[in-house]
Structure 1
Amino acid sequence: MNKIILLYVVAHFLGDFVFQSDQVIGLRFSKEKRDRWIGNIRHMTIHLVIIIVLYVLLFGYTEYPIPIFIITTLGIVVSHMVIDVIKSELKARGKLRDKLRGLTLFIADQFLHVLLIILITARFRADVITIAIHTLYKSFPNNLDTMDKFLMVCIIIIITTFAVGTLIKMLFEDNQELEPLDQLEGNNESYDKGMKHGGLLIGYMERLFIMLVVAIGQPSMVGFVLATKTIVRFKKLDKDVFAEYFIIGTLISFLFALIGGLLIYTLKIIPVVK
């Protein structure tokens, strides 16, 4: 049970944060209702393909019967579609213009998706969920098998890199004072004079590096990232707005990366360097 839930969660985060293109996002939140439906259908198709691919690749590990997998997958995809259509409609009607409301909905949306994955996979049976949680608790982390740990690490990495990048982007978007600074996290292409989405990629690599050094038991190397960022952005730190953005964005990025690294370290899947 735990493996198939983890598989669905990995597929969800891959579909939402890794394989969702700007074009699909644009369609999903278009002012035209037809475009919104097209965008959401494309988004669901991507999710479905990812789930099927992961299931095929990990079939020998999940031991989840194909008929039940088909029914469960359809339930998850349909529920995901319903939530996303509602979200698209709310945004189209201007209900999400407030930044705090948008951030709250973003977090609640992801929580609801994961919750529904668990409930649908467990067929809404409380006893099944209780047993799954108890089994996970009793086996964590020493008695988890390699596949469980691998799927957990995938979830941690996707959330810490891609999801946190989206969170930072949402936190600073639509702020006229900060628009020229969006290249720091790759939020606005028009101000990115370097490589396209260069700032966003740097953010990903930054968090991946921090997670890695923490996971291998070398957290002191985190200072290298901070020192490098400070040197590169030193001249721009004279601007108050940029300095505030830099500090807040860096703290959020570092915090999530440290948490992710500690979780991976706890799983003991990567050898610790002494």
Structure 2
Amino acid sequence: MSDFSTLLVSFLLIHTLCDFYLQPKHWIEEKEEKKHRSPKLYLHSILHGVALLVPALALKIDWINIASIISIVTITHFAIDLWKVSTTKGDAFSRFAIDQILHVLVLITTAFYITDSIAITELLQHDKLPETTMITFAYLLILKPTSVAIGCILSKYPISGNEKENVNGLVAGGELIGYLERILILTFTLVGSYAAIGFVLAAKSIFRFGELNKSSDRSMAEYMLIGSLVSVVITTLIGILVILGLDIGIE
């Protein structure tokens, strides 16, 4: 029997191929238009299940488990996709994220079920679990919590003059830019690529230069600069603390 990680990676590979590369755009459009009446919805779901035959046979999984895999993945994929094309709640990205998370959870559960060489207790006792938990926590910390912290700090430095009219748009776009910036900075910090952090900051400065240059009020430039620097400081400190924690754990 194959180990859990090999089985899961092969399942995720098939999922990626079927969901993004073997699903033409007109299939997606038909599913959104006809929903449960769309033949492409059924074909797409069956494709996901049947395609798992490739890694299942390659990894020498017995036929009873193969039948279970195909049935579970086909049925759950159909149900999840039907929910996605039928619901109108949330924006497109939220529905996409939930859709993919649910699919991945099904594949993880299936891999656990099929694999008899790993138990949950073994996973919890894995040597890398503390490091993985710490890094995951760090990435979660630099997203929404850091945005809230930056917002609280910036509230003490209100923008004056006519620039207030542009704040909402800048904050909405700036939040996403901040997420991406902090993810890159934390990643480069953890891998020790500090020169790349400078590149990220330089690239952002170049793109923001036009906005700052056109700003008639100095407070807007100061507002954006404070936000950027606070974001960088918080992310860098979190990265350093994680590195120190990992070193202590290794010793």
- TM-score range relative to shorter protein: 0.3 to 0.5
Q: State TM-score, norm by structure 2.
A: 0.48
Q: State TM-score, norm by structure 1.
A: 0.45
Larger Rg: 1 or 2? Answer: 2
Whose helix proportion is higher, 1 or 2?
Answer: 2
